[in-house]
Structure 1
Amino acid sequence: MIKNISISTFVNIIFTLAFISIFITFAMFINYDKQKHELSLQNRYELIAENFLSTFQSHPTFETLLALYKKFQVIPIEEREEKLEIIKNAQELTITQNFLGTYRVYKYNDVYYIYVQQFGYNVMLKDSTNHNYSMAFIVIGFTISLFTFLFLYEILKRKLHPLKVLNKQLIAFSNGNKDIKLNYTSNDEIGTIAKSFNEAINIINNQSKSKDLFMRNMMHELKTPITKAMFIAETLNDDNKRETLQRAFKRMDDIIKELATVEKLTSKNTMIFKEESSFFKIYTKTLDLMMVNPENIAAKIRDFKFEVDTYMMSIALKNLIDNAIKFSPNKKAIINASKEKIEISSLGEPLSHELSYYTEAFSQEEKRSDGFGLGLYIVKTVVNLHGFKLEYKYEGGRNYFIINMMK
C-alpha cells in the first residue's frame, strides 16, 4: 500500500507522525516534570518539618526559631483564626507521623503551609517562596520545536514542489500535449530529470514530425499513380486482367486510406466531432464505404440515436464488418445493434491471442496475406475516443466483436 501513495502524501504522513511524536513526548515530559516537582516539594517540606520537630525537643529560644524561619524561608502564622481558616478550607496534601511528632502540608490560594505539631508546640509555617509549577520554559521549548518542525516541513514541500509540477506535466504529455517544456534550472536531481525530460520531448516531437511528413508525402505520392492506374485498367479488354488489376489497385487505395486514418488518429491534434446521429445513418454510410453486396450482411438493427462522430464510427464499423466477411468461411457477417451494444459476428476459428494483441498497430494473424493489420487498431482507437469499450468473445463456432456503449 505504501508504494502506491504519492511522495507528497508520504511526506505529509511522515511529518504528521513526527508531529504526533513531538506532542506525545512533550506531554510525557510535562507529566514526568510535574512528578519530579511534587517529589522535590515533598522532600523540602519533610526536611523543614523534621528540622523543626528536632529543634522543639531542645526547647529552642526565639532567636533559634527565627534562624530556622530565615534558613527555610518560612513565615509563622500567629493568628488563631487564620490557622483555623487554612485548616478548614485548604487542600491537605500530606500528613506524616513519626517518633518526633506530626506534620501536615496544606495548599491554600496557591500558597503552601506546613503545620508542625509536637507536645507543647503547635506551629503553622507559610512557605514564602513561590513553588507553583510553571510550564513557561516547556511551552517555550515546545513552541521553538514546533516552529523548527514547520520550517523544515515548508522547506521540504518547496523542494518537492517542482517534482509535483513535473508529474503533472508528464501526465499532460502522456495525454497528448507535446508542447511542454520545464523551466527548472536547478542542478539537483529534479533539475537533471527536468533537463532529460525536455530533451526526450524534443526527440519525440522531432520523430513525430518526421513520421507525419513521411506519411503525408508517401500517401500523396502513391495516390496519383494509383488513380491513373485504375483509369488505365478500365481500358483493358481482357475482363480477367481488368478485374485483377482493379482489385489490386482498389486494395492499394484502401491501404492508403487506412494509413491516412491511422495518421489522423495518432496525430497530437486528434479530435472527434460528435453530433446526434441515428445508428441506421452510420450503418448506411458504412455500406457506402465498403462497397460490398448487402446480401453478405445480415442486419438486426433496433435503430437508436446517440452522440457520435459519424465518419469515425463508420470507419470503425466498416473495419469490423470487413474483417468478419474476409475471414469467415462463408463470407458472411451478422450485425446486431441496440442502444447498449453493437455486435458483429461471423463463422470462423477463434483468435489465437488476446484481443489486445490485435489492437496494436500492424498486428495480424500469420495466415493473413493482405493488409497491414491496422483494422482493429483503428477500431479500438475510435471506440476509446468515444468512451466506449471494444470486447471479444468466441461462442458456438462464431467470433463476436462487440462495441459496448454502456458507460
Structure 2
Amino acid sequence: MRKHAVLLTVLFALIVTLISVTVIFVEFYKLNRQQYINNIFTKDSVITQIYQDHGQKESSEIMLEANFAVYKFKIEKDIQAQKIILDRGEILKQVGFKDETVMLKKENLASLKKADTLRTTMLAYTHKIYFYIQSPTGYILIQDEELRPYRPWNLLYAYTTIILVLSVSFLLILQRLRPLSRLRRKIAKFGDGVMDISFATDGKDEIALIANELEDTRVKIKTILESRTLFLRNVMHELKTPIAKGTIATQMLDSQKQIDRFTSIFGRLESLVGEFALIEEVTSLNDKSDFKECRLIDIIDGAIDMAMIQKKDVTINIENSKKMFVNYRLYTTAIKNMIDNGIKYSTDKHVRIVMINGELCFESLGDCIKHPLNYYIEPFTKDNPSKNSFGLGLYLVDSILKAHRNVLAHEYENGMNRFIFA
C-alpha cells in the first residue's frame, strides 16, 4: 500500500469526484424533470376548460373532438387501449385528489359524485403523454400529440463530457507518474550496488529535475568510491613491501629474542593489512555477481579449515540440505570469525553451531558480554586489550552480513552467549 500511496490518493480523489458529480447530476435530473412535468402540466387547464364547456353546453362528441384537435389533443376511445394505458402508464402528476389514493378506474367514479371539481392525472406511456380527466359525470383519456416525456439528453451529454474529462485527466496524471515509478526502480538498483545505472532524463518537469539531480549525485558518489578504493589499495600495496622487507631483515638479527619480537610485530602488521583488504572488499561490494547457492554445511567446513582448528572444537547441528545464496568467500570469513571469537572467549574453548527458527546461531559458554552488541561491531573495540586481536572481527562480520541483507544479534541465556545471523 505504501509503495503506491500517491497513486491511491489520486485514485481516491477521482472516485470521490466521480461520486460527487454523479450525485449532483442525479439530483439535478430529478429537479429538472419535475420542473419539466410542472411546465407541461399547465395544459390541463385548457383540457379541463374544453371538457367543462362540453358538459355545460352538452355539445356533440364531434364538436368536442374538434375543439381538442385545435390544440393537438386526441381522445383515446378504445376501451382496451384505455385499460392498458391506465394500468401500465407512469403517473407524472395529479391534481384534485384529497388523498393519496390513485383513482384511475371507471368503477371508482361513484366517489366523485360528491365533488364539484375535476380530477386530472397526467401519465406517460410508450413515449407519449396522456391526460386522464375524471368528473362527477364521467371520465375521458386524452393524448397530447405534441408533448413527449422528459428526456435528459442534455444532462447525459454534460455528465458524459465531465466524466470523460475526469478520466482523461486521471490517465494524464498516471502518465506523468510513470517516470516516478521508473525512477524508484532505478534507485532500488542503485541501492543494490549497480553504480553504472543512469538517472538522467530529457524532461523538464519536477520529476525530471529530481532525476537529473540524482544523476549528478550518483556520478559524485561513484567518483568518491573509486577514489577511496584506489587509495586503500595503493596504501595496502605500499605497506606490504616494507612489511615483507622487514620480515626478511628480521632473520638477520643476532638475538633470537629480537627475531621473535620483530617477527610477531610484522606478522600482526601483515594480518592487519589483510583484514583491511577484506573490509575494503566488503564495503565496495557493488553487485551480486559473485553470489551463488551453497550448502551451509560446506560453508561451515570451509570456515573451520580457514580457522585452522580441530573439528572437535566445533559442534555442528545443521541439516545437510540447508542452502544459502551468498558470496562464499565472504560468508565463510564471517563464520570463521564467529568460530574464532567463540573459542577465544568461551570457558570450554568450544563452539556449537545450530539453526534456531531458521536462523544461524553460534553458542559458547562464558560470561555475558560487558557492553551492548553495538559497541563490539565498531572497529577496533574489544573487552580485553591484551588479547591478540585488532578488534575488527565482529565489525567485519557485521559488514559481511549487511552485504547479505542480514544483521548480527546477541542474546545470553543460562550462562551461554548466543550470536545470531538474523
TM-score range, shorter chain: 0.7 to 0.9
Structure 2 letter corresponding to 1:322: D
For the pair 1:160 / 2:177, whether they are aligned, the reply is yes
For structure 1, which segment, 223-232 or 143-152, has the greater mean C-alpha deviation from structure 2 after superposition?
A: 223-232
Map of 2:108 onto structure 1: none
Map of 1:298 onto structure 2: 313
Contact 1:383 1:389 in 2 (8 A): yes
**CA distance in structure 2 between the partners assigned to 1:269 and 1:322 by the alignment:** 28
**Match for residue 42 of structure 2 among 41, 44, 57:** 44
- Gap runs ≥5 in structure 1: none
Deviation at 1:216, TM superposition (A): 0.9
Map of 1:352 onto structure 2: 371
Contact 2:65 2:74 in 1 (8 A): no
Contact 1:286 1:314 in 2 (8 A): yes
Contact 1:103 1:114 in 2 (8 A): yes
Structure 2 letter corresponding to 1:238: S
**Match for residue 319 of structure 1 among 334, 337, 351:** 337
For the pair 1:400 / 2:399, whether they are aligned, the reply is no
Map of 1:337 onto structure 2: 353
Deviation at 1:229, TM superposition (A): 1.9
SS in 2 for 1:393: strand
**CA distance in structure 2 between the partners assigned to 1:322 and 1:374 by the alignment:** 12
SS in 2 for 1:99: coil
SS in 2 for 1:183: coil
Structure 2 letter corresponding to 1:87: Q
**CA distance in structure 1 between the partners assigned to 2:275 and 2:396 by the alignment:** 8
**Match for residue 131 of structure 1 among 136, 139, 148:** 148
Structure 1 letter corresponding to 2:331: M
Deviation at 1:149, TM superposition (A): 0.9
Percent sequence identity over matched residues?
23
Q: For residues 129-155 of structure 1, give each alpha carbon's deviation from its aligned partner in whole angstroms, at most 9, with x where no partner exists.
A: 132121322221122112111221122
Deviation at 1:125, TM superposition (A): 2.5
Contact 2:200 2:215 in 1 (8 A): no
Deviation at 1:57, TM superposition (A): 6.5
Residues 25 and 372 of structure 1: is their aligned pair in 2 closer, same or farther, counting only changes over 3 Å? farther
Q: For residues 164-208 of structure 1, give each alpha carbon's deviation from its aligned partner in whole angstroms, at most 9, with x where no partner exists.
A: 222221111111111122232333322321221111111100100
Contact 1:114 1:125 in 2 (8 A): yes
**CA distance in structure 2 between the partners assigned to 1:261 and 1:167 by the alignment:** 32
Contact 2:351 2:364 in 1 (8 A): yes
Q: For residues 215-256 of structure 1, give each alpha carbon's deviation from its aligned partner in whole angstroms, at most 9, with x where no partner exists.
A: 111111111221222233344443433333222222221221
- Taking the TM superposition and a 5 Å limit, the aligned residue runs for 1:233-244 are 233-244=250-261
**CA distance in structure 2 between the partners assigned to 1:356 and 1:195 by the alignment:** 37
**Match for residue 146 of structure 1 among 127, 150, 163:** 163
Contact 1:301 1:338 in 2 (8 A): yes
For structure 1, which segment, 108-117 or 209-218, has the greater mean C-alpha deviation from structure 2 after superposition?
A: 108-117
- Gap runs ≥5 in structure 2: 98-114
Deviation at 1:357, TM superposition (A): 5.2
**CA distance in structure 2 between the partners assigned to 1:206 and 1:46 by the alignment:** 90
Give the superposed CA RMSD.
3.6
Map of 2:85 onto structure 1: 90
Map of 2:116 onto structure 1: 99
**CA distance in structure 2 between the partners assigned to 1:73 and 1:300 by the alignment:** 107
- Taking the TM superposition and a 5 Å limit, the aligned residue runs for 1:245-256 are 245-256=262-273
